[in-house]
Amino acid sequence: MSLPVIKLTDKRPQPVEVTAVTRPFWDGLSSGQFLVIACTQCERISFPPRVVCPRCLCRELEWQPVSGRGILYALTTVHKTPPVYGFSGPVNVVIVDLEEGVRLLTQLLPGTGTAALDSQIQLVITEHPDGYHYAARSVSSPG
């Protein structure tokens, strides 16, 4: 499934280290997909990318795309960010439970306001001058 791609003019929200383990994930974003790891033995789906299954320690893992749909589990506003990020707050940080069973941390798409706990959330891919990243937005948000 291809996720919405939102073009932004600022740099990615945090420095990205692309490794042999994470390269398929970052490549997936550039092709419109948010990829997670699925264990071929116990079928556990997990994120972030890793080399062993956190449940059964199997090393036979496959990449698979997720729908990007989920529920807002938690949110907070960070008012002051470290200089390494290259921008100042406030930033709305959210924890999202994807319908595939993965829980992840990301930011709420800048400029979309805030969202209520337990509300419907959609992951989006953000295209920046220095590469791709991801964020979340309320399903009721435009764009």
Q: Whole-prediction pTM value?
A: 0.89
**Domain interval for residue 15:** 5-138
68-122 pLDDT per residue, tens: 999 999 999 988 877 766 666 788 999 999 999 999 999 999 877 778 999 999 9
8 A C-beta contact, residue 22 and residue 30: no
51 lies in some domain:
yes
Angle at 14 between CA 8 and CA 19, to 5 degrees: 110
34 lies in some domain:
yes
3-42 pLDDT per residue, tens: 999 999 988 877 789 999 999 999 999 999 999 999 999 9
67 lies in some domain:
yes
143 lies in some domain:
no
CB burial of 21-48 (b: ≥16 within 10 Å; e: otherwise) equals eeeebbebbeeebbbbbbbeeeebebbe
How many domains does the chain fold into?
A: 1
What strand order describes the sheet that includes 45-46? 45-46, 35-39, 61-65
